[in-house]
Amino acid sequence: MKNPEAQQDVSVSQRIRVMFYVMKPSETSFQTLEEVPDYVRKATPFFISLMLLELVVGWIRKGKPPGGLDDALTSMSAGIVSQLPRLFYRSIELTSYVYIWENYRLISLPWDSPWTWYLTFLGVDFGYYWFHRMAHEVNIMWAGHQTHHSSEGYNLSTALRQSVLQIYTSWIFYSPLALFIPPSVYAVHLQFNLLYQFWIHTEVIDNLGPLELILNTPSHHRVHHGRNRYCIDKNFAGTLIIWDRIFGTFEAENEKVVYGLTHPINTFEPFKVQFHHLVNIWTTFWATPGFFNKFSVIFKGPGWGPGKPRLGLIEEIPEVEGKEVPFTSSASQLLKIYVLVQFTLILAFYEETFADKAVLSQVSLLLRVCFIILTLTSIGFLLDQRPKAAVLETLRCLVFLGLCRAGHLKPCFSSLSFALEDWNYL
């Protein structure tokens, strides 16, 4: 997926159907990797549309939105951060796969065969199950995946709360497919598997009847996101819930699910959301005596400790009462409106940067990425009401003006452009 001009067009119908994996082999089979559309980016408008629809439905049904603005902005910020490396290089999930395919493949299945398409569907979903399970059972992998679970809400914005670290381990679980599945077919299903999981992050949909037996559904995935004891390490499925049923990790939704980490992080700051567990591992590693115990801190479960089972003790998971109140920002409504405006602007800037990355210099790309990260960090500071939030926001505004003057950014409003042009003559 290097050359956008070589990619196939994606119709509006396909952009909708791809969200639910309702696609046919004949319309999604490509001979080369360069022809595979970037389905995830093309589905972005539908992410926003479905989130707005969920907001309306939730408000009608319950008289309130399905989550807080602060939590939703933090989730979308994490999604933005997770995608920024793609501005500089192709995902390691693809580069590693292509390397294995070109150097070690055993056979080459036909790229245009429906059998290859369906086999890849099962193979990617099976690989995702084991990656996802290990991301909960291996502490260093959990350090990446915990980002996705840190939200104390459960709505479509939660699906966007992704880790920047996760892809550096997930590729391992898909690599066996490179021995016989063409990269172009793999690239299609890797995206479809991810997109399917967007719509299941909602409380608007209750139960889907017989489909609950085969598919991963909102009900099954709500359990996965719960911090109730009965929810811990359950329902790892991507698209098909059959893997959980086969390997003994399935749990049906029964009592009310309380969402989030067993020990909430209580912050909206993107760096803490992404990296706080790495800091915890580092501290625990040096505080734990013995080489093998230190090794276990990294490669056993997040709840492990000396003398405990590999995954820790379920009795040590804090019990929930169902009355827990999610962490919310104490910022004023006026400040939240300001934050929302700034986030909307940086989201548009993020989309523009991806659209123009082919014509931007590496220096401009790097400066733009730094500015995006600075903006999201400032937003997190403002929502957290940090003492230095006003200083950081002032610095961000000055950096914006400096980058505009240097020509690396362009203002959203023509009046500001004229003002900056006048400044250049001073």
* Plot region of 11 (φ>0 → left; ψ -120 to 50 → alpha; else → beta): beta
pLDDT at position 412: 61
Alpha helices in 248-314 (DSSP H): 270-287, 291-299
Residue/partner pairs of 16-20 with CB below 8 Å, 24 or more apart: 16/46, 18/43, 18/191, 18/192, 18/195, 19/43, 19/46, 19/50, 19/195, 19/196, 19/198, 19/199, 20/196, 20/199
pLDDT at position 1: 52
pLDDT at position 406: 87
Length of the chain: 426
pLDDT at position 194: 97
pLDDT at position 47: 92
- Where the chain has pLDDT below 70, the residues are 1-8, 412-426
Q: 334: how many CB neighbours lie within 10 A of its CB?
A: 8
Least Cα distance to 318 among 277, 261, 401, 381 occurs for 261
Contacts of 93 (CB under 8 A, 6+ apart): 167, 170, 171, 174, 190
The model's pLDDT over 260-295, given as tens digits with 9 standing for 90+, comes to: 999 999 999 999 999 999 999 999 999 999 999 999
Least Cα distance to 216 among 142, 161, 159, 150 occurs for 159
Quote the CA–CA distance of 353 and 348 in Å, as a whole number: 9
Quote the CA–CA distance of 22 and 342 in Å, as a whole number: 36
